[in-house]
Amino acid sequence: MSHQYRPGRPEDIPTLDQQGLRDRYLVEQLLTPGEVRIVSTHFDRVVTVGAVPVDAPLKLETVDELRSDNFLDRREIGFVNTGGTGTIVADGERYELAKTAVLYLGRGTVDVTFESADAADPAKFYGFSAPAHTAYPNTLVTPEEGTIRELGDQVTSNRRTLRQCIHENGVKSCQIVMGVTSLHAGSMWNTMPAHTHDRRTEVYHYFDLDDDQRVVHLMGDPKETRHLMVANGDVVLSPSWSLHSGVGSSSYSFVWAMAGENQSFDDMDSVPITDMR
């Protein structure tokens, strides 16, 4: 996929119509059966990857935008499996990923291939990659592992479980901070109270949302928000200045991942909903 995304300026957001916003901040159909799709961005040089092996293994190839012989020559990547069980083979080492398992692959990993255990229920590997200055070890995080934070309240419809996987106190990385948040049944709001974080790009990948449901994802300057109507599998790019929060028409989960200046999860500037416009 050749479209190159750029963060743009917060003051431009109100001048864009819905298609303009979608073209700049939404990635659709990244996870497509039988393909590896790669979308490069100028959001802290983040690259997103979707790999859905069905009948045959797929390979992670480099892309022109990276100007490197192999995808991970100067980068790291975190993968989350949001589909059926599958395997990622990294330089001959086999890592089996059940649904919501996370795999970190460090700089210098050369051969990366993807397989599904069952073509009728293929693995869906979503990847988030950022430049890396050194090589940290390739590490699997099973669905039972990670640091759990229970957030929100049923009364405010934002009860959710956040699982940190690649982070300061977990699997080590150069830049990537990554995990999965799942809404409890009956709760619809993610990341509420909302926030920005000036020092990092953040990308959300929504999954486990029924096809006939949507998430209304809020973005832009907190004082001048706009929204995107997001479907299952969609990816939303948030520049450092953009608020990111959403309300679903049913429960759902999402992978969140960040890259930028620091890795401190709590380095957020909270925005009370009463200050949002």
Binding residues: 195, 197, 202, 244
Binder to ligand LADIRMRS among 160, 167, 214, 217 (CB under 6 A)? 160
C-beta of 54 vs 216, nearer to ligand LADIRMRS:
216
Residue of this chain nearest to Zn ion (CB atom): 202
Q: What whole-number distance in Å separates Cα of residue 41 and Cα of residue 5?
A: 5
**Cβ 204 to Zn ion shortest distance, Å:** 9
- By beta-carbon proximity to ligand LADIRMRS, the closer residue of 206 and 256 is 256
Annotated binding site for Zn(2+): 195, 197, 202, 244
Residue 162 interacts with ligand LADIRMRS (CB under 6 A): yes or no: yes
Does 190 bind ligand LADIRMRS (CB under 6 A)? Our answer is: yes
Q: Return the number of the residue (5 or 204) whose C-beta is nearest Zn ion.
A: 204
Q: How many Å from the N-terminal Cα to the C-terminal Cα in the chain? A: 35
**Least Å from the CB of residue 116 to ligand LADIRMRS:** 27
Exactly one of 202, 221, 226, 252 binds Zn ion (CB under 5 A); that residue is 202
User: What's the min distance (Å) between Cβ of 263 and ligand LADIRMRS?
Assistant: 11
Copy the structure tokens of residue 11: 């003051």
181 touches ligand LADIRMRS by CB under 6 A:
yes
Among the listed residues 43, 175, 256, 263, the single contact to ligand LADIRMRS using CB under 6 A: 256
**Which residues form the interface with ligand LADIRMRS (CB under 6 A)?**
151, 160, 162, 181, 190-191, 197, 202, 244, 256, 268
**Which residues form the interface with Zn ion (CB under 5 A)?**
202
